Amino acid sequence: MKVSFENDQIESYCNQFQLERMFSDIDSIPLQLRTYEKNELILQEGDDLDGIYLQVKGQTKVTTSVETGKSLLLRFCYPFSIFGDIEIIQKVPIQSQVKALADTCFIFIDKQTVEKSLLNDCRFLNELLHHLSYKLQTCTSASRINLLASVEERFAIYLLTTRQSNDFGREIQSQNIPEIASVIGTTPRHLNRLIQKLSVSGTLSKKRSSFIVLDWNELDRLSNGLRYY
């Protein structure tokens, strides 16, 4: 991680994402620019949070662990995303692991500043509410589908969701079979068997470690009109 206080770069990101609308007085807030290289760990599940992270560049991968030691993919994040909002509000340790998948930059605000000043700022709280409600909506939708739908339905729903131009579709989109399996709550082995089945039926065309959708209408029928959002 590299920490910078370069006003020009910070101001450029603030202007790009109109961050002045997020604070009543942005000039009074000590802002840092934190830069992480590809594959560098940003937040570790279970650690104490040191502040709020505003992602302004790059791509991150958010996962959570389970008792068996395996990790569950939650989403990929892009600018503009906020990390630390749940932990700040609930006063709990970091809930998920966040890793950089490319060179990634954050505007960072230390925890003391957030707790002493920003939690009394209506603009800041309104922005946190917006991001928290989005996370709740998408997580609730994904959990409901993964609990109630069959694996075949979930896979169809996943493919149709990622095909559409919405934020959550982009956040769960992957070409990696194990990652797709993680998102829809199944195993890579089960998903590979399903891909083979759909390939035989002509819905997909299987290519070694990848596949191509041939019949979107059939996937729509299998999905029963549901989507991950």
Terminal-to-terminal C-alpha distance of the chain: 33
What is the reported pLDDT for 62? Answer: 97
C-alpha to C-alpha distances, 145 to 130, 132, 153, 169, 185, nearest whole angstrom: 23, 20, 9, 15, 10
Our measurement of the distance from residue 165's CA atom to the centroid of its chain's CA atoms, rounded to an integer in Å, reads: 16
Q: Rounded to an integer, what distance in angstroms lies between the CA atom of residue 84 and that of residue 34? A: 15
What is the reported pLDDT for 217? Answer: 97
What is the reported pLDDT for 165? Answer: 76
Dihedral sign, Cα of residue 179, residue 180, residue 181, residue 185: positive
pLDDT band at 229 (very low <50, low <70, confident <90, very high): confident
What is the reported pLDDT for 187? Answer: 94
Q: Is the pLDDT of residue 67 over 90?
A: no
What is the reported pLDDT for 77? Answer: 97
What is the reported pLDDT for 207? Answer: 82
H/E/C letters for each residue in 61-97?
A: EEEEECCCCCEEEEEEECCCEEECHHHHHHCCCCCCE
Q: What is the largest CA-CA distance in the chain?
A: 62
pLDDT band at 71 (very low <50, low <70, confident <90, very high): confident
Domains in the chain, ordered, with CATH? 2-121 (2.60.120.10), 149-223 (1.10.10.10)
Q: Is the pLDDT of residue 59 over 80?
A: yes
What is the reported pLDDT for 118? Answer: 97
Q: Rounded to an integer, what distance in angstroms lies between the CA atom of residue 39 and that of residue 196? A: 32
Q: Is the pLDDT of residue 68 over 80?
A: no
pLDDT band at 191 (very low <50, low <70, confident <90, very high): very high
139-185 pLDDT per residue, tens: 999 999 999 999 999 999 999 999 987 899 999 999 999 999 999 99
Q: Is the pLDDT of residue 70 over 90?
A: no
